[in-house]
A and B are shown apart, each in its own frame.
Chain A
Amino acid sequence: MKITLHMLATLIVVGMLSGGGLSLVNDWAEPFIEENQRRVRDEAIGFLVPGGAPEQAVDQDGLTAWRVRGEDGTLKGWVVRYAGTGFQDTIDLMVALDPDRQEIRGLKVLDDSETPGLGTWIRLSPDHQAALAGASDRYLEDAVGDAKNFPLQFFAYDEGEHLSAEGDLKVVKGKPREQLGPTEVQSITAATISSVAVVDIVNEAVLKLDTILAEQGGA
């Protein structure tokens, strides 16, 4: 009997000390964690549609969308966040659209578990980000043709030409850049599945945003 009480008391004390300690740490850490997540999100939106303030427009069925407005209140574009299945695990990404949602203006993969050195080319590298930030029209002529620069196609696949957001995008292989159309995306060499996964997620995100906005009754 005595030993049972001792056991119970030990576990209760250990549990209480542990719980109390954890709640203190949690109170301290939580604001930082939220701040980190918000910063990642805002930086991505700011990168995709620069020079505006995001305002959340949609948050349902796993899809989040923001209107980005400039200082004078004009609509500068849309950013849609959506996730879907990749080659391994989920790909979480953001797509930028023009104000009329007819063209795709950018793509940023936020989280993925694709194969290093292959599927991971779906990510924007630091070089890409620096180059895009510096380019006024977001078109990097030399870079777009290379399969390792897969995400750049979503910014502009040809001079002044953006991918269309009005029909489903298709993945093509080995086509020269001059022959690519506004719904064609060049696949990453040896990572076709990852490329297709990204394009599918983009297609679904754009379609879903249209449906949701139509239901809400305002586009």
Chain B
Amino acid sequence: MATESSKTSVLGGVDEGHLDLVTSPHSHFGWSTGRIMWTVSAALVPCVATAVWFFGFGVLATIAGAILGAAGTEWLVGRLNRRAETIPDGSAILTGLLLGLVVPPGFSPFMAFIGGVVAVGIGKIAFGGLGDNIFNPALVGRAFLQASFPAQMTDWSHATSRVDAISQATPLGLYKFGDPSQFAGDIATQKLLLGEVGGCIGATSSTAILIGAAILLITRIAHWQIMASMILGGLVFGGIFHVSGIGPSPLFHVLAGGFLFGAVFMATDYVTSPNTPVGMWIYGGGIALLTILIRLFGGLPEGVMYAILLMNATVPLINRHTRPALFGAK
């Protein structure tokens, strides 16, 4: 199989004199890992820009901390293992960037750095590196931060600048623990669309996230099925509960918190999502259902992170049961 002619183009590359063997499929649609990762990073630019607009330049320090932690770990482990340089493929930097965008504004850059180290070190490399990780590394990092620094991870009061006092608590937080009436009606929807609310750095502005989604869909990097099933699932399940008198309107469910950000940038991660279309629908719907169950009946106001991590764990099972039958096989 590993013929001389194909060794660089299809099978990865020759690394220090030994041949990398890669399992099938060998078909290539012309995009390298690096190009995909950098395009996703570009799709995140609107989120970063709105974050700077609403929360000030301080957020850049937090994001930089996360990227430094993630990429630094990747570099260090690569050096220790004498592996090929993996920094240019951008995956570690993207992990750091995603992590930096899902912590509160004003979050300490040093803690973000720790989160980046955990995201890449424990979320990815401990499982065998890119492609072998079961869980979305950025969310592993976030889960670690949430469990390590719960007070800082739920402290939205540093959102200085343009976000007004009422919305310094997150909309979901207000819904769960406070006065939901402060967040009702058209103004709320408008604010959620713009991002003028309390929340994680990159996850507040629905418009910016949707621009990113458009970039990912036009370049056909992300699978539309995952985004569609998750958003549709949110509307349907949120709607069912809303009609039965439990919880806010389905639109609120989808626009508030990290739902859209999770649907567009986290759930669509190649490595940790199913690779069959049917599987993608099950996966996205499952995330939406779990998110809404956690939000409505759990102890926490937000559940997107745990919902995605839980569904990540089911991906091998989903893949196995939705695999199309081989032609001619029974």
Check whether chain A touches chain B (CB < 8 angstroms). yes
Name the residue of chain A whose CB is nearest to the CB of B168: A174
Name the residue of chain B whose CB is nearest to the CB of A115: B150
Contacts of B153 in A (CB 8 A): 190
| Contact A193–B150 (Cβ < 8 Å) | no
Name the residue of chain A whose CB is nearest to the CB of B149: A117
A189 to B150, CA, bound (A): 9
Which of B154, B178, B299 lies in contact with A87, CB distance below 8 A? B299
| Contact B177–A189 (Cβ < 8 Å) | no
Contacts of A192 in B (CB 8 A): 177
Q: Does B151 contact A (CB under 8 A)?
A: yes
Quick one: which of A184-204 are within 8 Å of B by CB?
189-190, 192-193
A117 to B155, CA, bound (A): 15
Quick one: which of B76-105 are within 8 Å of A by CB?
none
CB distance from B165 to the nearest CB of A (A): 10
Q: Does A118 contact B (CB under 8 A)?
A: yes
| Contact B151–A193 (Cβ < 8 Å) | no
Q: A169-182 toward B: CB 8 Å interface, digit per residue (1/0)?
A: 00001100000000
Whether A189 contacts B299 in the complex (CB less than 8 A), given A173-B177, A173-B178, comes out as: no
| Contact B177–A190 (Cβ < 8 Å) | no
Which of A173, A174, A190 lies in contact with B150, CB distance below 8 A? A190
CB distance from A85 to the nearest CB of B (A): 13
Whether A118 contacts B299 in the complex (CB less than 8 A), given A173-B177, A173-B178, A192-B177, comes out as: no
Contacts of B169 in A (CB 8 A): 174
A118 to B153, CA, bound (A): 12
Name the residue of chain A whose CB is nearest to the CB of B177: A192
Whether A118 contacts B178 in the complex (CB less than 8 A), given A87-B299, A193-B299, comes out as: no
A87 to B151, CA, bound (A): 16
CB distance from A117 to the nearest CB of B (A): 7
Name the residue of chain B whose CB is nearest to the CB of A119: B150
Name the residue of chain B whose CB is nearest to the CB of A87: B299
Q: Is the interface of B mostly helix, strand, loop or mixed?
A: loop
Q: Which of B151, B154, B177, B178 has the most CB of A within 10 A?
A: B151
CB distance from B196 to the nearest CB of A (A): 20
A193 to B151, CA, bound (A): 14
Q: What's the tally of chain A residues with a CB closer than 8 Å to chain B?
A: 10
CB distance from A192 to the nearest CB of B (A): 6
Name the residue of chain A whose CB is nearest to the CB of B157: A174
Q: Which of B154, B155, B169 has the most CB of A within 10 A?
A: B154
| Contact B151–A190 (Cβ < 8 Å) | yes
CB distance from A171 to the nearest CB of B (A): 9
Contacts of A115 in B (CB 8 A): 150
| Contact B299–A117 (Cβ < 8 Å) | no
A189 to B151, CA, bound (A): 6
Contacts of B177 in A (CB 8 A): 173, 192
A189 to B158, CA, bound (A): 14
Contacts of B178 in A (CB 8 A): 173
Quick one: which of B169-200 are within 8 Å of A by CB?
169, 177-178
Quick one: which of B114-159 are within 8 Å of A by CB?
150-151, 153-155
CB distance from A109 to the nearest CB of B (A): 19
CB distance from A40 to the nearest CB of B (A): 30
| Contact A190–B154 (Cβ < 8 Å) | yes
Contacts of B151 in A (CB 8 A): 118, 189-190
Name the residue of chain A whose CB is nearest to the CB of B152: A190
A192 to B299, CA, bound (A): 10
Contacts of B299 in A (CB 8 A): 87, 193
A193 to B153, CA, bound (A): 17
Contacts of A118 in B (CB 8 A): 150-151
Q: A56-92 toward B: CB 8 Å interface, digit per residue (1/0)?
A: 0000000000000000000000000000000100000
CB distance from A39 to the nearest CB of B (A): 34
CB distance from A145 to the nearest CB of B (A): 14
A192 to B173, CA, bound (A): 11
Name the residue of chain B whose CB is nearest to the CB of A121: B151
A84 to B177, CA, bound (A): 21
Known A-B contacts: A190-B155, A193-B299. Give 10 more (CB < 8 A).
A87-B299, A115-B150, A118-B151, A173-B178, A189-B154, A189-B155, A190-B150, A190-B151, A190-B153, A190-B154
8 sampled A-B residue pairs with Cβ under 8 A: A87-B299, A115-B150, A118-B150, A173-B177, A189-B155, A190-B154, A190-B155, A192-B177
Give residues in B with beta carbon < 8 Å to A: 150-151, 153-155, 169, 177-178, 299
Nearest 10 Cβ contacts at the A-B interface? A190-B154, A190-B151, A190-B150, A189-B151, A118-B150, A192-B177, A193-B299, A173-B177, A189-B155, A173-B178
